[in-house]
A and B are shown apart, each in its own frame.
Chain A
Amino acid sequence: MNAMAPVGAPSLPTAVDYRVYHDTQIFAAEQRNIFKGRTWCYLGLEAEIPNAGDFRATHLGETPVVLVRGQEGKIHAWVNRCAHKGATVCRSLRGNQADGAFVCVYHQWAYDSEGTLVGVPFRRGMKGVGGYEKDFDLASHSLEKLRVESYKGMVFGTFSADIESLDDFLGPVMRKYIDRVFQRPIKVLGYSRQYMAGNWKLYSENSRDSYHGGLLHLFYPTFGIYRQSQDSAGELAEQGFHNVFTFSKPKGDIDYGSFGDEANREMQGSAKLQDERLLQFRPEIEDDVGLHIQSLFPSVVLQQIQNTLATRQIVTHGVDKTELVWTYFGYADDDEETTRHRLRNLNLVGPSGLISMEDGEAVELCQQGTVGAEGKHSFIEMGGDDVRGYYAPLGMDENAVRGFWKGYLNLMGDALAVSAEASA
């Protein structure tokens, strides 16, 4: 039950008014209360900008942001919006600005890597004509700067002046699992960008939804490699909005060939892989976890699926426009053969992933099916109507989806109620 549920909606978080996926005022309130509110949002990896002057364009919610490594090695982030007329200052996806200066092409306002305004043309006019007043203060016309903190090479930014530290926002459980993936230095292997005609929350729910895994994603069962004996568990952060799923291989079982021995009849397909290298798993972290999917509210999923490592950044371009930026990586000390193995494993994930391509379609189906369904609601009671810190085994529950809504409503609260009233 939640007193702040939108007007006319049933109780939350076990049901959600479909309005939340379509209402532009709710979307605007999310930008204010969540993305620009008391959250730390993922912006990228330190490994993407290793050298002084390296920069990468990114987003925080719908806001364009640039991540820059300054001359002194520190990472900065600022809103990509000139303080003069609001033009986009940085027009490339990535690069290196050796002199550390970012200049808006429109009127040549120049900023340093920290986003501070360092020069404007004709500041004093020419021959006593035009220009700015004598008290024009460069520093007070800088780009909007974000607070930036990193955890294990994952860079987060916030607009909030008084939010807790990133470490506290993530909490001990989430940090433990981030430590697990970032056990040693990484190197970026590349990107893919997946654009879904659906609301960002549908994807956020999807990544926290263990119920659909074996039902929507039929690659494993089709090829007779459904592993019934694997162990699974889900853990939530205290607020409910971060979660992690892990699936561990049965002890000693690392061969594709042995998967079939333990599969139940219904899940055991007849197809056989011609090239089993696709599914080879080489344990490289000191545990038996073959799948680690961690959703950090509000904007990133960190994964290890077999030997694929990736972050999936959720970018909100509109009420029904969501971009998923996949950043694939490996470990810095991978040899060529290990990298090739990772590239082969990457066939499983991403927008063409044999075990993950369906998520994009699921998001769009829900978006299309809920058009005009304001006042009607979803049903999220698989495995109960509460939110638990630990749930195992997975697959028969929507515990973490309810956790998402619990955290979401804590941040949206009145804003959601008010915007729902306004649009009623």
Chain B
Amino acid sequence: MSMVDPVLQGLVDSLNAAYCLCLDDGRLEEWPEFFVDDCLYQVIARENVDNGLPAAVIYCDSKGMLVDRVVALRQANVFPEHFSRHLISRAVLTGIDGDTVSAEASYAVLQTRNDGETRIYNVGKYVDRLLIKDGLAKLVSRMCVYDTHRIATLLATPI
């Protein structure tokens, strides 16, 4: 069993922690900056992944599409007012290829709406590829594979 590089582990975990806080604090405009320009971000049901089906509820294959989605959420889309809270596991590094790392981590997103009740909203795992450059990790691709295939009302804020 190989030793996990603690520096690499720290970079990935730090990225995940900052990413989740960014979303939970509502700083959506900063969210695309966690990705490289030529990125892929998907939110996809586990039932699709398990059955080899590609359809995702969010599929952005450029950073521009991430920015467009944030602008749409801010200016156009109508959805219930809510707060999100991500709880994430420590990342498991699943592969290293040059300056690219593969990693997976579990997440749970709790959501609180105007009625004040906090509900388990979406649970799943991140399947990631990260570019490590200048002591910083950036997402090349993030696939949010969600177990909670019953989406309550709608899924607006990124996972």
Contact = CB atoms under 8 A, between A and B. Distances in A.
A216 interface: yes
Nearest to A189: B55
Contact of B154 (A222, A343, A352): A352
Contacts of B149: 191-193
B77 A354 contact: yes
B54 A189 contact: yes
B78 A361 contact: yes
Given A278-B68, A361-B154, A350 B57 contact: yes
B71 A271 contact: yes
A275 B48 contact: no
A346 interface: yes
A190 B46 CA distance: 10
A343 B48 CA distance: 13
A275 B68 contact: yes
Interface in B55-97: 55-65, 67-69, 71-72, 75-80
Contacts, number: 134
Given A343-B59, A357-B154, A190 B77 contact: no
Contacts of A191: 45, 47-48, 53, 55, 149
A190 B65 contact: no
Given A189-B53, A274-B64, A222 B76 contact: yes
A191 B38 CA distance: 26
A273 B75 CA distance: 13
Interface residues of A, number: 44
A364 interface: yes
Given A93-B47, A190-B55, A357-B154, A216 B65 contact: no
Contacts of B62: 274-275, 277
Contact of A192 (B55, B65, B75, B79): B55
A277 B60 CA distance: 10
A364 B71 CA distance: 24
B78 A347 contact: no
Interface string A354-398: 100110111010000000000000000000000000000000000
Nearest to A218: B76
B23 interface: no
Interface residues of B, number: 38
A358 B53 contact: no
A190 B54 CA distance: 6
B58 A347 contact: yes
Contacts of A354: 69, 72, 76-77
Interface string A121-133: 0000000000000
B153 A219 contact: no
Contacts of B69: 347, 354
A352 B153 contact: no
A94 interface: yes
24 contacts: A189-B53, A190-B53, A190-B54, A193-B151, A195-B152, A195-B153, A219-B77, A222-B71, A223-B68, A274-B63, A275-B68, A323-B150, A346-B55, A347-B58, A351-B155, A352-B43, A353-B57, A354-B69, A354-B76, A357-B79, A358-B78, A360-B153, A362-B78, A364-B153
